């Protein structure tokens, strides 16, 4: 059984990023253990805390360490990832030399209500994951444009194409992650 951590870059209630993540998770194996890690309440990373970290840092680092693989879904904010997502990456990569991200396979998905699909956020996140030593699935690329038109009021995919594609991404990621088990 693989433990999948899911990190949603949006901190908004009922976000499209969360909807995309939940649709991807539906494609994971039935015995997968899935944990959505909350990043919205993490204090901003501050190197002054390296010697005496806030409890929220320790709790988050332990949750990250307990996962085997990660699914990241982010919106695009000003042509980059959200501040909350960058903060989460920083918190769990410090103190220097004690990163808990290394070696864990990752899937990156981005979404936007625009047609640009969060493509720049996707690639900014990938650059950080390279530095964090996280092997990242390259194909299929997951850029979801016009996400506000792809989900219903319950944030479920409103068409079979979106539902099937996102579930297939989850299945392919489980096969990718198995290579690193």
- 108 pLDDT more than 90: yes
pLDDT for 58-85, tens place per residue?
A: 999 999 999 999 999 999 999 999 999 9
Place of tokens 């092997």: 135
Half-sphere exposure of 33 (CA within 13 A, CB side): 7
Q: What is the pLDDT of residues 80-105, one digit of tens each?
A: 999 999 999 999 999 999 999 999 99
The pLDDT, as a whole number, for residue 177 is 98
pTM reported for the whole predicted model: 0.97
Give helix 160-178 / helix 16-25 axis angle, nearest 10°.
60
CA 90 to chain CA centroid, nearest Å: 14
CB contact at 8 A, 163 and 19: no
Distant-in-sequence, close-in-space partners of 146: CB < 8 Å, separation ≥ 6: 112, 113, 114, 115
Q: How many residues does the chain have?
A: 181
Q: Is 165 left (phi over 0), alpha (psi -120 to 50) or beta?
A: alpha
Q: Are 81 and 108 in contact (CB under 8 A)?
A: no
| Ranges assigned E (strand) in the chain | 3-8, 33-36, 69-75, 106-111, 142-144
Domains of the chain: 3-178 (3.40.50.360)
Question: What span, in angstroms and rounded, lies between the C-alpha atoms of 17 and 9?
Answer: 7
Question: What pLDDT, on the 0 to 100 scale, is given for residue 1?
Answer: 84
- Round to whole Å and give the CA distance between 173 and 17: 17
* pLDDT, tens digit (0-9, with 9 covering 90-100), for 1-27: 899 999 999 999 999 999 999 999 999
Average pLDDT over residues 110-116: 93
């Amino acid at each position: 059984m693989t433990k999948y951590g899911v990190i949603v870059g949006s901190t908004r209630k009922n976000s499209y990023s969360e909807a995309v993540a939940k649709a991807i998770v539906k494609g994971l194996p039935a015995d997968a253990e899935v944990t959505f890690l909350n990043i919205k309440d993490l204090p901003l990373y501050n190197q002054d805390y390296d010697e005496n970290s806030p409890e929220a840092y320790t709790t988050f680092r332990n949750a990250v360490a307990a996962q085997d693989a990660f699914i990241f879904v982010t919106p695009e904010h000003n042509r980059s990832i959200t501040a909350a997502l960058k903060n989460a990456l920083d918190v769990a990569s410090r103190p220097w030399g004690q990163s808990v991200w290394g070696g864990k396979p990752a899937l990156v998905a981005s979404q936007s209500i625009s047609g640009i699909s969060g493509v720049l956020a996707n690639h900014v996140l990938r650059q950080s994951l390279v530095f964090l030593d996280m092997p990242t699935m390259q194909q299929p690329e997951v850029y979801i444009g016009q996400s506000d038109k792809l989900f219903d009021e319950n944030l479920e995919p409103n068409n079979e194409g979106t539902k099937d594609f996102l579930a297939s991404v989850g299945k392919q990621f489980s096969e990718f992650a198995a290579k690193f088990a």
